[in-house]
Amino acid sequence: MAPFFVLFAAVTVAPIAYAAWMSLYREEALSGLGFGGTERVFAGFGNYSAALRDPAFLSSFGNIALYCLLYIPLMIGGALTLALLVDSALAGAKRFYQIAYFLPHAVPGLIAAIIWLYLYTPGLSPVTDALEGLGADWNFFGRDEALLSVVNVSAWQWIGYNMIIFYAGLQAIPREVLEAARVDGAGALRTALRIKIPMIRSTVVLTVLFTCVGAIQLFDAPKLVQLRATEMGEEWSPTMYIFNAAFKAHDYGLAAAASLLLALVAGVLSFVVTKLGNRWKAS
């Protein structure tokens, strides 16, 4: 196990420790006019306090909470539905559906961003042209529509991936259990709701956990939409706030502090989801 721990320390523990050290310092100009360079000054927990007092940082968590309310039920429900449908399909068609649903996740992120930017842009997208032909007026980059656009991109990318996880869990269900339900007269819907889903509770809980942790680290999809949706703001998500603090404002201490606060939220969220999931599995 030594190779694992060495790599884990090098790529996980060491960067976290370095970020913690950076979060305790800030850069200050040597002269009032800023021509004398900067020096690193010990700030203690000042960067953490600045992040927690920043309305942009706090509101970014509100945006992610609203995103999760829409995205998580859609993604989990969609992936579970597709997995149940594939599991009930003919044996010869299962492999085809697995590959077809997984393909969106296999598309590189940059290519996917270009595709969706094209599909969302009025005057270029056949989708917007079709909607206009039907008399519908929908702006994918509008103030109210931008959130739905972000949810759509994320769901398109991850439903197939999680469907494969659910499908693997369904394949582990003993066939004799399903045959017994069929003999007792249970239909396909009742079998799915009363037998299949309860027997893959652990898989569902694990997927919800990974989805929640991934959701609070959202960056690609909102950054894509924000390129055109100016009302959305450049600090819509916590990761966008951290990106701007580090690479636009060059305030690496603030970015490091915000990153560790985000990691703390992810840890607390993981604990809560795990506890609730264990209660559901025990019920």
- Say whether pLDDT at 35 is over 80: no
For 100-126, what is each residue's pLDDT tens digit? Answer: 888 888 888 778 878 888 888 887 888
- Say whether pLDDT at 36 is over 60: no
- Say whether pLDDT at 227 is over 70: yes
| pLDDT at residue 37, as a whole number | 63
Sign of the Cα torsion 187, 190, 193, 198 reads negative
| pLDDT at residue 283, as a whole number | 67
* Average pLDDT, rounded, for the chain: 86
Q: 157 or 278: which carries more pLDDT confidence?
A: 157
Structure confidence at residue 31 as a pLDDT band (50, 70, 90)? low
Angle between helical axes of 55-88 and 201-216 (0-180°, round to 10): 150
Structure confidence at residue 262 as a pLDDT band (50, 70, 90)? very high
| pLDDT at residue 254, as a whole number | 92
Output the pTM of the full model.
0.86
Say if 42 falls within a structural domain: no
Say if 266 falls within a structural domain: yes
Say if 238 falls within a structural domain: yes
- Say whether pLDDT at 232 is over 70: yes
Place of tokens 């842009």: 121
Q: What is the CATH number of the domain that holds 63?
A: 1.10.3720.10
% of the chain with per-residue pLDDT over 70: 94
For 166-217, what is each residue's pLDDT tens digit? Answer: 999 998 888 888 888 888 888 888 888 888 888 898 899 889 988 988 888 8
Say if 100 falls within a structural domain: yes
Say if 43 falls within a structural domain: no
Say if 6 falls within a structural domain: no
Q: Cα–Cα–Cα angle for 272, 276, 279, nearest 5°?
A: 145
Say if 3 falls within a structural domain: no
Task: Report how far apart, in Å, the C-alpha atoms of 56 and of each of 29, 44, 236, 280 are.
Answer: 25, 22, 8, 35
- Contact present, 273 and 208 (Cβ < 8 Å): yes
Say if 41 falls within a structural domain: no
Report, as an integer, the average pLDDT of 140-149: 83
Write out the DSSP string of 8-62: HIIIIIHHHHHHHHHTTEEEEESSTTS-S-EEEEE-TTHHHHHHHH-HHHHHHHH
Q: 279 or 76: which carries more pLDDT confidence?
A: 76
For 53-97, what is each residue's pLDDT tens digit? Answer: 999 999 999 999 999 999 999 999 999 999 998 888 665 678 888
Virtual torsion, Cα 196, 200, 205, 210, nearest 10 deg:
-110
Q: Quote the domain boundaries for residue 111.
A: 54-282
Indicate the range of 83-87, 198-202, 263-267, 278-282 predicted with least confidence. Answer: 278-282
- State how far the Cα of 60 lies from the Cα of 259, in Å rounded to an integer: 13
Number of domains in the chain: 1
Q: 132 or 217: which carries more pLDDT confidence?
A: 217
